[in-house]
Amino acid sequence: MNADATPSFEIREHSAPVPASERTGRIADPGFGKVFTDHMAIVRYTEGKGWHDAHIQAREPLSMDPAAAVLHYAQEIFEGLKAYRLADGGTALFRPEQNARRFQQSAARLAMPQLPESLFLESIEKLVDIDREWIPGAEGAALYLRPFMFASEVFLGVRPAHEYLYMVIASSVGAYFKGGAKAISIWVSDDYTRAAPGGTGAAKCGGNYAASLVAQAEAIRQGCDQVVFLDAAEHRWVEELGGMNLFFVMEDGSVLTPPLKGTILPGITRDSILTLTRDEGISVREEAYSIDQWREDAASGKLVETFACGTAAVVTPVGTVKSSAGDFQIGSGGTGQITQRMRDRLVAIQRGEAPDPHGWVKRLF
């Protein structure tokens, strides 16, 4: 096989999948990221040989050499998307080609080989197909898919690895934040930043998350749900949460979100909301917004809503912002009108309950 050939997936079915009655119990109230399906997808990459050995197999622990490069230099990237149950009983993905492209961009930034879009999509479709019984039916529930890739080469030298493993696992999930669309509180981190210019902020890599955890722990200690990061250079501009993008809604109905300049993760939910707001004729700006302005606008009433968005938590209102300089409330501290409308519109499209003018929904079966 030459390096450009696209291998097709071999299906090796699990010989002893979880019995149906047991599975039903596990997916009834699955929480987030705790319940996993029977299978996983794997594709290997070796320099010179290219992508090969694409298959679906029983989900099982990996056996890894302790000198595998990822364990030392964190050459790892991932994606996150959901398979949704449609209103008519079918199943669909939401803009999966966007995840495939972002995965390639993350790979480029981490000096990793780029997985062809067709292989990315096939790995997901085959896994959802074989594990379709694991898609929960409850409202807000879905099958969360986690494609990821890491340097598996056994080598301690510092250079891009020559061997990688690409995998997809799937998890039956309920709502990300317990209590559904209840407003969250966020902590403004003084001591830590998530991403610096020229760094990996725009890539979906595990290292960004590792670097965000002390700040997230600090937020929890401060009684908050999430941390909000400011820019690294001036420590003034609001960027995003540890894993969600932010939107601000003004009193005049206009909407603002920080621009993508390499330090913010280009969220697919962010992009979808930009499109949906423009569709509605709402004025939307991608513009830097400072923490001081945010505080001032919240106090004066010029800013009426703030929401966070991402695949896992969809659209989540921000009710309170806490910081060392004092706390402030957004609007009434609950769910604002635009926040609710954007959440409802997005969910309706994802569930096949509303027209899909942009062709975002990819029906699988």
Ligand X SMILES: *Cc1c(COP(=O)(O)O)cnc(C)c1O
Binding stretches for ligand X (CB under 6 A): 80, 204, 240, 243-245, 265, 267-270, 310-311
Closest Cα partner for 115 from 171, 164, 65, 160?
164
The dihedrals phi and psi of 75, each to the nearest 5 degrees, come to -80, 90
Are 319 and 185 in contact by the 8 Å Cβ rule? The answer is yes
Question: Which residues on neighbouring strands pair with residue 305, listed in sequence order?
Answer: 249
What CA–CA distances, in Å, run from 138 to 147, 225, 346, 351, 355? 24, 24, 17, 12, 22
Closest CB to ligand X among residues 243, 336: 243
Specify the residue, 68 or 315, whose C-beta has the smaller distance to ligand X.
315
84 neighbors 142 (Cβ within 8 angstroms): yes
Return the axis-axis angle of helices 96-109 and 268-279, rounded to nearest 10°: 130
Q: Which residue has the tokens 């997936």?
A: 9
CB of 268 to ligand X, least distance (A): 3
Q: How many CB atoms lie within 10 A of CB 198?
A: 9
Closest CB to ligand X among residues 269, 350: 269
Shortest Å, Cβ 308 to ligand X: 9
CB nearer to ligand X: pick between 80 and 180:
80
Q: Among 339, 333, 332, 307, which Cα is nearest to 320's?
A: 333
Nearest distance in Å: CB 6, ligand X:
25
Q: Which is nearer to ligand X, 56 or 203 (CB)?
A: 203
Of 148, 307, 176, nearest in space to 240 by CA: 307
CB of 243 to ligand X, least distance (A): 4
Nearer CB in complex with ligand X: 51/120? 120
> Least distance (Å) from ligand X to the CB of residue 246?
9
Q: Which residues contact 290 (CB under 8 A, 6 or more apart)?
A: 236, 237, 238
Instruction: Tell me if 68 sits within 8 A of 197, measured CB to CB.
Output: no
Name the minimum Å distance from CB 47 to ligand X.
28
Residue closer to ligand X by CB (options 195, 224) is: 195
Shortest Cβ 242–ligand X spacing (Å):
6
